[in-house]
Structure 1
Amino acid sequence: MLNTMVLIRTDNFDKALIALADLVRYAGMEIRGKPRIIPPALSDWAFEKLVGEKPKKKYRAHVVAQIDLPPSKAIGRLREIHPPAHIIVIPPDSPVHRELLKMWGTFEVLKGFYPPKKSRKGEESEE
């Protein structure tokens, strides 16, 4: 089973890191693997394919991450939170998803992302 992806478009990588943390903390998503940095042109192409129009705003930071939710659930949870970024859900059955997955290994890993700890009952924190 393929993971849904999210495309995060924002002004800088600090905001991208905050947006990823928000997805975990407030939207209850689990980030699978390490988020990757993608070229702006590829991000714009993905945006156009998924949204059906050319992006109106230029962003400097473009990050893609795999998450543990089906697209419809991810979209619903995104509507409930307000991360400091423009986030688009990429369904596993889309051409954009296939293209990004093919190129995944060539993308630079986003440094500095450590998922916020989720507290589980009966588990001791290691801090």
Structure 2
Amino acid sequence: MLNTVVLIRTDNFDKALIALADLVRYAGMEIRGKPRIIPPALSDWAFEKIVGERPKRKYNAHVVAQVDLPPGKAIGRLREIHPPAHIIVIPPDTPVHKELLRLWSTFEILKGFYSPKKEQQEGGSRE
């Protein structure tokens, strides 16, 4: 089964790292492999294809990661948390997903992401 891809669009890479940690810690997602940095133009293209409209604002940090949940479940969990980023779920059966996976090895690895340890996942709520 192909992994679902999430596209994280935010102001800086520190916020992208926090958003990834939130996906693991609060949304119960497992990040498969290493998150990657993608060019803003590719991020805008992916956004437009998935959302159906042009992005309204520009972001400085664009990151993609593969997660272990089906798209519907990933979207549901995203609605329950409030990460410091705009996150779009890209389902495996889309041209955007195919293109991102085709280019995956050319993207720079996002440095500094370490999946939070499982023991830290006690409470699901955030204060």
Q: What TM-score bracket applies, with the shorter chain setting the length?
A: over 0.9
Q: Give 1:102 deviation, angstroms.
A: 0.2
Name which of structure 1's ranges 27-36 and 111-120 shifts more when overlaid on structure 2.
111-120
Deviations 1:15-54 (Å, cap 9, x if unpaired)? 0000000000000000000000000000000000000000
TM-score, normalised to structure 1, is 0.93
Whether 1:52 and 2:52 are equivalent positions in the alignment is yes
Mapped partners of 1:17, 1:119: distance in 2: 19
Question: Residue 72 of structure 2 aligns with which residue?
Answer: 72
- Tell me how large the CA RMSD over aligned residues is: 0.9
Q: Give 1:119 deviation, angstroms.
A: 2.3
Q: Give 1:6 deviation, angstroms.
A: 0.1
Displacement over 2 Å in runs of 4+: none
Gap runs ≥5 in structure 1:
121-127
- Supply the AA of the counterpart residue of 2:5: M
Mapped partners of 1:85, 1:97: distance in 2: 20
Question: Residue 114 of structure 2 aligns with which residue?
Answer: 114
TM-score, normalised to structure 2, is 0.93
Gap runs ≥5 in structure 2:
121-127
Matched pairs, number: 120
Alignment of 1:24-103 (within 5 A): 24-103=24-103
